[in-house]
Amino acid sequence: MEQTTNQILLRGTLAGLPELSHENHGKRFFRFLLEVPRLSGTVDTLPVITTEEVLQTLDLSAGERITVSGQVRSHNIHTQQRRHLLIFVYAAQLTVEDGEPVNEVIVEGPLCREPTYRKTPLGREICDVMLAVPRAFHRADYLPCILWGRTALEASQCHTRDVLRIYGRLQSRLYTKVTETGTEERTAYEISALSAEIPDDVF
């Protein structure tokens, strides 16, 4: 059995009712958006997918917030015009309860490309990495992560196939994409690291 470090815990409010996402091997999967406010007041709107069985355990009268426990997943979508990496939360468990917002992620995996290090005009250090986080059955989730400050500088010294363990949160970010037909507003999802380390047990 492969050891996998991929955990996310969210607590937020529904942005809309769950809708049918897809069916696979006779199972129905539903998708909804969860709004999770940050301390700054900015709200991350995060896509969650779960099975019909898990969704049926929800009792919406039990509180105002939904707690999601599961993993961060990725899925490659190929269209005629472009290839898109879909990032979402796969919910293994859902409960309804009151409490403060929560957005906690732990992921571990090798870098699948070289880090991208840069500085903002104000001198803040940023490093973008893409982790290939192992999943069961020899699959992997490709998860974009962004690191800041000293953590960014340390991550920039890593190379492809080096393993990182990242602690942080899953965030949403709006950006403008220039296309052949004009500009489009899109949403990117990435893990914003609070800390990162090279696990001792990978050697």
CA 15 to chain centre: 17
User: Does position 21 have pLDDT exceeding 70, yes or no?
Assistant: yes
- What is the DSSP code string of 170-196? EEEEEEEEEETTEEEEEEEEEEEEEEE
> Of the ranges 37-46, 81-90, 103-112, 132-141, which one carries the lowest mean pLDDT score?
81-90
Which pLDDT belongs to residue 3?
Answer: 60
d(CA 112, CA 99): 37
User: Does position 1 have pLDDT exceeding 80, yes or no?
Assistant: no
Which pLDDT belongs to residue 202?
Answer: 43
User: Does position 12 have pLDDT exceeding 50, yes or no?
Assistant: yes
Which pLDDT belongs to residue 203?
Answer: 34
The CATH number of 106-202, from 3.40.50.2300, 2.40.50.140, 3.40.50.300, 3.30.465.10, is 2.40.50.140
Mean pLDDT, range 18-38, rounded to an integer: 95
Buried b (16+ CB within 10 A) or exposed e, 42-57: eebbbbbbbeeebbee
Q: Where in the chain is the domain with CATH 2.40.50.140?
A: 6-104, 106-202
Joined tokens for residue 68: 């999601």
Tens-place pLDDT, residues 53-89: 999 988 877 788 999 999 999 998 876 667 788 999 9
Domain 6-104 is of which CATH architecture?
Beta Barrel (2.40)
User: Does position 50 have pLDDT exceeding 50, yes or no?
Assistant: yes
Which pLDDT belongs to residue 178?
Answer: 81
Q: How many CB atoms lie within 10 A of CB 5?
A: 15
Q: Round the average pLDDT of the chain to a whole number and report it.
A: 91
Helix (H) or strand (E) segment spanning residue 154: helix 149-155
Reduce the DSSP state of residue 96 to 3 states and report it: strand
Which pLDDT belongs to residue 150?
Answer: 92
